[in-house]
Amino acid sequence: MVNVGILGATGMVGQRFIQLLDNHPDFEITALAASSRSAGKKYVDATTWYLNEEMPESVKDIVVCETNPEDMDNDVDIVFSSLPTEFAAKVEKDFAKDYVVASNASAHRMKKNIPLVIPEVNPQFLDMIDLQQKENNWDGFIVTNPNCSTIALTLTLKPIVDNFSVNAIRVSTMQAISGAGYNGVPSMAILDNLVPYIGSEEEKMESETLHLLGDYDGEKVVNADFKLSASCHRVPVIDGHTEAVFVELDDEFDIDDIKDKMSSFKALPQELNLYSAPENPVIVKDEMDRPQPRMDRNAGNGMSVTVGRLRKEQAFDNGFKYVLVGHNTIRGAAGASVLNAELINERIL
């Protein structure tokens, strides 16, 4: 068993980490770090538990530690981070001296030699780790996962990009409130309403997606070369981001072929049979009115992305469109980091 710690353990993504790591076959939670306000208390006493599922017994009595390497039990090998961006910028580097840091924070995404990875999409970016360690003189390293909306989109684009030449993509999101954190969206702002703005979200989607679907040549990442434009909106849904995607290819295509490539898509995590890897990263539904966030967010234990309404565009010869739903705090956050760590554990540690 690999001992793991969680940074930001009392927050909403921190709680998802705990839920996903409970009864994990390879990882055992032995350290939970949070703010000074929580440090020194038992986790059960320090935490307002937000998930519908009960807090696992195994973590209740763990005494929360401060968020720095000195206070972390040194038997820990991997730390999962759901720290706020500004804080993560410094703290994750401190941990990387000695620990593997699997981070859901955006602070180090797309930085030089820091892999931004979705295991089904660009596992080869992990090759950056050697350079990262040498450059910084670290024994550990940092691996990051993308923004929640980006992950769901990119998973569905991977089998398309692999088999067709993509010209341009527009995506309009309808994102769940949990993506903003427990206190992020006041109920007064969203009941009988929606908010057509999420800070930095469009920029993240537009940059991270091209990076993830690009190439790593051993030195730098060459972005994928299609055009991508995003419009992001918050809707009154608890969990599960929905995205309407418009794709323009360079050539003619058969819509059944698109469907087949998505449905049959499997990649390294499926081959390696990683514990959190869903059998199908992308599930394509034929029902007229799916996917729906409440009905489909838990597909593949929250690790599959569900696609529906896949159809040709009448107005564009080489265009098609579809709708996707992905669980934003599982596949889009904690589950993404866990799957990264499983791949690292299998391949590198």
DSSP state of 320: E
Total residues contacting a copy of itself by CB under 8 A comes to 57
Do residues 32 and 59 touch, judged by C-beta distance below 8 A? yes
State yes or no: is 148 an active-site residue.
yes
Look at residue 173 and give its three-state secondary structure. Answer: strand
| Joined tokens for residue 251 | 């050539």
Binding mask 210-229 for a copy of itself (x = CB under 8 A): -----------------xxx
The active-site residue out of 148, 211, 232, 327 is 148
* Of the residues 308, 326, 332, 335, which one makes contact with a copy of itself according to CB under 8 A: 308
| Interface pick for a copy of itself out of 63, 189, 268, 272 (rule CB under 8 A) | 189
303 binds a copy of itself (CB under 8 A): no
Indicate which residue of 65, 211, 232, 241 is catalytic: 241
CA–chain centroid gap for 292, Å, is 19
Q: Is 291 a residue that touches a copy of itself (CB under 8 A)?
A: yes
- Name which of 237 and 343 has its Cβ closer to a copy of itself: 237
Task: Kindly list the distances between the CA atom of residue 135 and the CA atoms of 112, 113, 115, 126, 141, in Å, as whole numbers in the listed order.
Answer: 10, 9, 14, 15, 11
Q: Does 192 bind a copy of itself (CB under 8 A)?
A: yes
Residue 57 near a copy of itself by CB under 8 A? no
Residue 7's SS3 state is strand
Give the long-range contacts of residues 299-306, CB within 8 A, separation 24 or more: 301/276, 301/330, 302/327, 302/330, 302/331, 302/335, 303/276, 303/277, 303/278, 303/327, 303/330, 303/331, 303/335, 303/339, 304/278, 304/279, 304/280, 304/331, 305/152, 305/155, 305/156, 305/281, 305/331, 306/282
Half-sphere exposure of 125 (CA within 13 A, CB side): 29
Q: Residue from 36, 57, 70, 191 that binds a copy of itself (CB under 8 A)?
A: 191
Residues 12, 205, 102, 301, CA torsion sign = positive
Min dist CB 98 to a copy of itself, Å, is 35
Among 86, 135, 194, 257, binds a copy of itself (CB under 8 A): 194
| Residues with Cβ within 8 Å of residue 307, at least 6 apart in sequence | 156, 262, 282, 283, 284, 285, 291, 322, 323, 324
Element (H, E) at 110: none
The residue range among 32-40, 93-101, 113-121, 175-183 that interacts with a copy of itself, by the rule CB under 8 A, is 175-183
Binding residue for a copy of itself (CB under 8 A) from 21, 185, 221, 343?
185
> x/- string (CB under 8 A) for a copy of itself, residues 3-42?
---------x------------------------------
Under rule CB under 8 A, residue 184 binds a copy of itself? yes
The contact pattern for a copy of itself, residues 114-153, with x = CB under 8 A and - = no contact, is ----------------------------------------
Q: Rounded CA gap, 133 and 326, in Å?
A: 33
Interface region with a copy of itself, contact rule CB under 8 A, candidates 88-96, 116-124, 191-199, 270-278:
191-199
Q: Please choose, from the candidates 311, 209, 309, the residue with its C-alpha nearest in 3D space to the C-alpha of residue 253.
A: 311
The answer to whether 236 contacts a copy of itself (rule: CB under 8 A) is yes
Is 232 assigned a catalytic role?
Answer: no
Residues that bind a copy of itself (CB under 8 A): 12, 50, 52-53, 168, 170, 172, 174, 177-178, 182-197, 206, 227-229, 231, 233, 235-238, 242, 244, 246, 288-295, 298, 308-309, 313-316, 319, 321, 323
Write out the catalytic residue numbers: 148, 241
